[in-house]
Structure 1
């Protein structure tokens, strides 16, 4: 099945958006017009396809004349929007535990994004991997996910996190200006899609921690994943393997498939079903690793070239210019400046 027509976004997010539009005087009928979403679909605890979700977001932007509707959805989100997973987040002991749970079970809420939590050079990073980057209204879906994620961090910790930033791959859109003062600080043209904040914030204690409730909900989430036959976590497993080998050389597809206990043919087939290929994942992993090394001010460019397997620093610079349109030193100076 093509990715646009698979079950993707949980219906609760659509219902929340419809309620938000109704508060602005926009009827449910107007919001659903032409989306293929039937009224009974909103009652069965089901899911929208990626296409239906995109059409609903398209209607929302058109009816509100606000391309930043993704930000608006995220800002209005509550922990209870996330169903059983939301109550699991509230039961965690620390922000680290909650974010890891959110990343682990995001596919129960939306299947065309993967999140990975990591730490690097004193910062926590929630890396966003888009499995359907060519789907319509994707900028809006990304805005919704990253704003929703920063919002749940603030709700769980019951405080603002002034060191938190959203990093976007592309240029700043015009609609960002309307929301700049309402969302966490954002950086654009970074080549990365992630949420970044001081790693020490991961240890923030959460006020409603309950180990027993968390164990119960985690078990229920695992059962739900089995019931839904989720398999898109394959991308996370491959990217985790590649990340663990970034200093020793990336494994081949044969080596990777062996570590994943499958044949290379099976791995290729599963990636093809996701409109992905192994070489592209390796290229993405190498690019992300280089970008993060360049952001470490204690590393010289020749050191980064050696770490990442480039025979000459000039080769690194040429690759970097191809990716980002600027030199590594210029990129470092721009993103390590105090302005956002």
Structure 2
């Protein structure tokens, strides 16, 4: 529940919704009622929490009587709604490069969802994962993001791309019927949420390409990510995946897939923090081994096997490097460590 109160969604998307409501003569005061969103928050290009975004969407649905607000916003979205990221998308050389950028930096626009790209049978699939699935109005927020993503190709190339498809994992909602003819081909009850298109679309050139502007935008993205604490969040998310339930440790490919990014992107992001994946795994293994050694019900051989060491001797060498003692020496001092408060009882 606490995650719903973190800075999540760019206020520029809320501003777009406010404009849509204004054209329908719905007063801003009513739309913002009980959301905790201030005018300065919208005008300053700040971020809304997941809870604030949900409250605004709920008000919009209630005041307009339109349960398809998510689709509506996605269809009305413009590249300028994405702020600097929209400018960077326009600066890419091809549509494929732009979609890769969208996937990589989506967290700067909304941290509650992540995208991963996969190529299968001549198709590009952009899979969406909801990181706050229990939050209110998630179906609406998901429809907004999926539709925005599906519309990017036509917006960037200036061409109609008739083979773009949208897939939703759940059943078709009643409000879809009003949008069926305006949306790309849409499938429901697929068990997955994604935007799909032929790989040949990825080679389409963008008339607005600008390599210098793109490079400058990427530099600003990394600065913004550090400012927002997103990089710290990345380390926490990695550590949360270590170790697996059976005590083993996943590889970089497995972790990067779980984080909805390529291993190359994960490696680069960690390098910007002065870290590497092996270092984080070693830190996680150290923490688990220390905890295991203090469990007197496990032998050193059992701990070595559980934590991925070839034998007890290798574990002991690593343990001496960490603590200056062997596992047996460390375990023998357990009563003293408890008394000193160095470890919890």
Q: State TM-score, norm by structure 2.
A: 0.70
Partner-residue secondary structure (3-state), 2:20: helix
Aligned residue number for residue 4 of structure 2: 4
Q: Does 1:261 align with 2:261?
A: no
Distance 1:245 1:102 in 2: 17
Aligned residue number for residue 227 of structure 2: 227
Give the superposed CA RMSD.
2.6
Distance 1:178 1:94 in 2: 33
Distance 1:189 1:97 in 2: 30
Shift of 1:41: 1.8
Aligned residue number for residue 201 of structure 2: 201
Shift of 1:220: 1.0
Aligned residue number for residue 81 of structure 1: 81
Deviation by residue 1:268-317 (Cα, 9 ceiling, x = unmatched): x9xxxxxxxxxxxxxxxxxxxxxxxxxxxxxxxxxxxxxxxxxxxxxxxx
Shift of 1:60: 0.5
Distance 2:48 2:165 in 1: 29
Distance 1:209 1:67 in 2: 37
Matched-pair contact (CA < 8 Å) for 2:252–2:277: no
Alignment of 1:1-340 (within 5 A): 2-231=2-231, 233=234, 241-242=253-254, 259=277, 261-263=279-281
Shift of 1:266: 5.2
Distance 1:188 1:102 in 2: 24
Q: State TM-score, norm by structure 1.
A: 0.71
* Structure 1: unaligned runs, 5 residues or longer: 247-257, 270-340
Shift of 1:40: 2.2
Deviation by residue 1:7-56 (Cα, 9 ceiling, x = unmatched): 00011111110011000110100100111112222222211100000000
Shift of 1:118: 2.0
Q: How many residues align?
A: 258
Shift of 1:265: 7.7
Distance 1:29 1:14 in 2: 14
Shift of 1:152: 1.6
Distance 1:176 1:69 in 2: 11
Matched-pair contact (CA < 8 Å) for 2:8–2:110: yes
Matched-pair contact (CA < 8 Å) for 2:51–2:135: yes
Shift of 1:261: 3.1
Deviates more, 1:221-230 or 1:90-99: 221-230
Partner-residue secondary structure (3-state), 1:29: helix
Shift of 1:182: 0.5
Shift of 1:212: 1.0
